[in-house]
Chains A and B, each alone.
Chain A
Amino acid sequence: MSDPGPREYLMTVFALNINGQAVTVDCDGTTRLLWVLRDILGMTGTKYGCGIQVCWACAVLVDGQADKSCGLEIKEMVGKKIVTVEGIGATPQGARLQQAWIDEQVPQCGYCQSGMLCRATQLLAEKPKPSAGDAAGMPNICVCGSYQRVQKAVLRASGQ
């Protein structure tokens, strides 16, 4: 392009740690983690829902905390441990949740479940025996309305 545009369009290389693997990406530093995962790395398990940090469909774990990847600039992700739905199965909590999701037949369309599972993985890591209210308190929007089964599955995964 003849017009180089403002500074944020300048490309930079960022070293990331995603699901335990070292990855480098070459992009503008303000590019959101969601789109780096999906469009640059081809990791499409993380979903776009609203783009305004409301629906939690895009949630991933950043240093163990579920966060909305549509709002995270890639330049802020350097040095952090990022875990996506493709990687939660490597954690004991994530693996138990995935099985519980199948046992309780949780997903309908399933589109929100990547974010739901990441958020639930954080919950179990912080609170091995969460209450039903804790499970219900997860903020992820599920338009299909899988909440009742999500709550049962979280309790099942925690051995309750």
Chain B
Amino acid sequence: MTTETNPRGTSFIDQILDATLSRRRFLGGAGALAVAFALSPRATLAATQPRAGDDPAGTPVGGWVVVAADGTITILYGGAEMGQGTSTGLAQAMAEELGARWSDIAVQNAPVGASWTTGVPWTTGGSSGITRHIAAMRVAGAQAREMLKAAAADAWGLPDTSNLITIDSTVRNTWTGLSLPFAQLAAVAATKPVPASPALLRTGQFVGVSVPRLDIPAKTNGSARYGIDVVIPGMAFAVVKNAPVLGGTLKATPKVPAGATAVVNLGNACAVVATNTWAAIMAAKQLSASWTTPADATSNSSAAVLATAQGLMTSGAGLVVAEGNPASAAGILGATPTLDQTYFLPYIAHAPMEVPNTTVVPTYDVLGTLTKLDIWASTQSPTGVKAAAAALVAPGVVINVHSTLLGGGLGRKIETDYPVHAVKTALGIKKPVKVIWPREEDVTHDQYRPMALSRVRASIDPTSKLITAWSNRIVSPSIAFQRGRLPTSGIDSSGIECAAIATGVPYVAANPNHAVEYVRHPSSIWVGYWRSVGASINVFVVESAIDELALAAGMDEYQFRRAQLLASTDPRAPRFLAVLEAAAALGGWSTPVPVGRARGISLGTCFGSVVGEVVEVSAPVAGALVVHKVAVAVDCGNVVNPNAVEAQMQGGVVHALSATLWGQITFTAGKADQNNFNKYRMLRGREMPVVSTTIIRSTADPTGGVGEVAVPGIASAIVTAYAKATKTARIRSLPMFPAASTMAG
């Protein structure tokens, strides 16, 4: 790439991310949210009609609840169901207010309506699937409930609804004991006014209960439809071939290779179109394309990126102080601080199981003018896809984005690069087409978790063992900068997340002697939002350093953390202490360690939740590692579905283990060296530790995220346990076992 600005990023997405990352402020405006929601019913459905047969059958009551004649209640939800259980969780909140019977409930993605784009974007990131939408879903359920009650009052000739309740998908008259099912009331209910601010009952009937997930049965028999499964009669199939060197562009549209029906020039890529995906894949292999090579290609080699990072670490060129006062901290640290170590984390890819894909149906009028785009995208951001598509067509073209299940998102599918490719392909051939990125394109052209070089200098008081000064310099590419939205302060908020006390573990209260410096690395290798984002980097660094300080203090890592938190005057410290103690208890920290094994512990915070983790490992032979157990204690505030929370803790542990042990994308002259799972290893069943989870019900922070929060704390705990088990020097550079990062079938 010739500039440092990611041409594929859109500031639109980043505004959404900003909203996600400042969720607490957002939730503070819940009143405004409810109003926006009250304005949105039904009109939104109508605005996007027709929707190619994907509207649920039945009568909409209030816009977000559709009651069918057979009693099925379809709840429309916003955001992405990518495996984290959001669709069920949101349905729980709505069904509870509605007074529905759980076995009547079905869920379906809501259409991407204009009224939502101003209030609650249809974007799921930052573990916000529940936290962002739950208040609105409660209101929607309550609105439908009041409309159904009004219809029942009509049926029974009552002057008002004061003696009516809803229960088990019926309206019941508490005086007479008579009931009427929702299905009989829906038609009249639909004509009732939508109450702007109905009372919220919060009965606890479903929220907080491990109801079975609604999406699971279809995921056991092949009937679940992901984006990649969309079938449009007569559609073509295309695969994308991106410019081999990041930032390259096509010099000319290549000749159509044998087996293909068309090649579409996408600028930074081309689409090879055929009658089925296999034919497209084979034809793409024979593509003869000529690409530009960006001037900075050679600087996008891993060795050059590291050398640049090391230079910036030493020089501090362009550094910004994100927290504290480095000079003040340096005065205490002096020439020989207790700890002075530098840690390295590599670029890593998302690699969700379902590759990026989008299906597009363009509609033309008799004059051949484009009138409509129907887009089925496996996306975390239907709102972003709609905006990105709109930028490619004339004003007035109707754009319907149909959300689908996602075969994993992990932060990759918040980007709009692949839907843009699909829209351009459909416009190029003027036909319906399904466009996929083969796995090789996904791994080599991801928007990667940024690499980072991070140095921590810290000192402790020799008597109290408390941290007296801490200075952390982070050198890392900025996701915000690449998208043209780095604030004038120069501080990338996700780049320092969890490194700064304000967003991290309050081992000390914020003070001038706890300093964080941020130096933006200029590499143009594309970076993006990998599960847990900045926390995935900074929790590893902070917790590694804490473990090293404990060692220097001659203290057990758990007791060292405990001592800091007990002494901390930060008001958040008790919440963190409770999680730490719960993790230690669950992980048996105080029990004897089995022979040959060792334990590690970590504490972290991410998207409003606090997570403590204890790992137990052994290393039977040098260079090998067996992770036996992982104990996870999580305080995510108000829990919607404990079973789904447990699943996310297990999943976060697995994802973090793959990254810690083997995960890295390296580059040679702007080309990724890994291109598929054979070179980008994922944990398998036989390597799975036993993960136990305890959920702490706390009110300290009303609602935290769940999908990403188990990820950040694993790496440091594993590294420490491995060093203890093998009595070898601590690993400060990830992944731990790069030589073992290949796998076979």
Contact = CB atoms under 8 A, between A and B. Distances in A.
Interface of A: 1, 3-6, 9, 27-28, 31-32, 34-36, 38-40, 42-57, 68, 84-86, 88-89, 97-98, 101-102, 105-114, 117, 133, 135-151
Interface stretch (B99-107, B213-221, B321-329): B213-221
B677 A55 contact: yes
A117 B218 CA distance: 13
Contacts of B643: 105
A55 B248 CA distance: 30
A5 B658 CA distance: 42
B167 interface: no
Contact of B222 (A27, A44, A109, A133): A44
Given A109-B407, A145-B650, A35 B685 contact: no
Contacts of A31: 276, 278-279
A147 B654 contact: yes
B353 A149 contact: no
Given A39-B277, A48-B228, A148-B688, A108 B651 contact: yes
B408 A144 contact: yes
B256 to A, nearest CB: 8
Nearest to B434: A39
Given A54-B744, A113-B219, A144-B651, A135 B258 contact: no
Contact of B745 (A35, A54, A135): A54
Given A111-B226, A143-B410, A148 B217 contact: no
A50 to B, nearest CB: 5
A107 B216 contact: yes
Contacts of A145: 650-655, 683, 688
A50 B277 CA distance: 13
Contact of B678 (A45, A52, A106): A52
Given A35-B278, A109-B83, A110-B219, A143 B229 contact: no
A125 to B, nearest CB: 17
A85 B177 CA distance: 47
Given A54-B678, A107-B220, A110-B83, A44 B278 contact: no
A38 B685 contact: no
A39 B743 CA distance: 28
Contact of A54 (B406, B438, B743): B743
Given A3-B258, A45-B222, A38 B213 contact: no
A106 B743 contact: no
A110 B215 contact: yes
Nearest to A108: B83
The 7 A-B residue pairs with the shortest CB-CB distance, nearest first, are A45-B222, A145-B654, A109-B83, A111-B407, A110-B219, A5-B258, A108-B83
B221 A86 contact: yes
B520 to A, nearest CB: 30
B647 interface: yes
B376 to A, nearest CB: 12
Contact of B691 (A51, A117, A140, A148): A148
Nearest to A99: B220
Contacts of A106: 216, 220
B216 A110 contact: yes
A140 B650 CA distance: 17
Contact of A140 (B84, B440, B685): B685
Contact of A151 (B644, B688, B745): B688
Nearest to B652: A145
Nearest to B217: A102
A137 B221 contact: no
Contacts of A138: 685
Given A1-B258, A51-B439, A144 B686 contact: no
Contact of B82 (A40, A84, A109, A142): A109
A49 B439 contact: yes
Given A35-B276, A101-B220, A138-B685, A57 B353 contact: yes
A35 B277 contact: yes
A90 to B, nearest CB: 11
B405 interface: yes
A135 to B, nearest CB: 7
Given A52-B678, A137-B685, A147-B685, A109 B216 contact: no
Contacts of B439: 49-52
Contact of A149 (B84, B351, B650, B745): B650
Nearest to B256: A1
A112 B221 contact: no
B202 interface: no
B212 A102 contact: yes
Given A51-B440, A101-B219, 6 more contacts: A35-B278, A45-B222, A113-B220, A148-B690, A149-B647, A149-B650
Given A5-B258, A108-B647, A113-B219, A50 B677 contact: yes
A109 B408 contact: yes
A42 to B, nearest CB: 5
Q: Is the interface of B mostly helix, strand, loop or mixed?
A: loop
B723 to A, nearest CB: 25
Contact of B213 (A39, A105, A111): A105
B231 interface: yes
A112 B259 contact: no
Listed residue (A5, A32, A53, A111) with the most chain B CB atoms within 10 angstroms of its CB: A111
Interface in B200-254: 212-213, 215-226, 228-229, 231, 237
A54 B231 CA distance: 26
28 contacts: A1-B256, A6-B258, A31-B279, A44-B228, A45-B222, A48-B277, A49-B677, A52-B677, A56-B745, A85-B220, A98-B220, A102-B212, A106-B220, A108-B83, A109-B406, A110-B216, A117-B220, A141-B677, A142-B685, A143-B351, A143-B353, A143-B654, A144-B83, A144-B408, A144-B651, A144-B654, A147-B654, A150-B685
Contacts of A57: 353
Contacts of A5: 258-259
Contact of A111 (B281, B353, B647, B690): B353
B727 interface: no
B83 A105 contact: no
B352 interface: yes
Contacts of A9: 258-259
A103 B683 CA distance: 24
Nearest to B225: A44
A120 B439 CA distance: 25
A46 B361 CA distance: 24
Contacts of A137: 685-686
B676 interface: yes
A109 B354 contact: yes
B355 interface: yes
Interface in B637-682: 643-644, 647-648, 650-655, 658, 676-678, 682
B684 interface: yes
Nearest to B410: A143
Contact of B682 (A44, A51, A143): A143
A95 to B, nearest CB: 10
Contacts of A50: 439, 676-678
B701 to A, nearest CB: 25
Contacts of B218: 110
A114 B653 CA distance: 23
A111 B688 CA distance: 19
Nearest to B275: A39
A143 B691 contact: no
B647 A146 contact: yes
A58 B224 CA distance: 15
Contacts of A45: 221-223
B220 A32 contact: no
A146 B646 CA distance: 11
Contact of A143 (B223, B225, B352): B352
Contacts of B651: 108, 144-146
Nearest to A39: B276
A27 B276 contact: yes
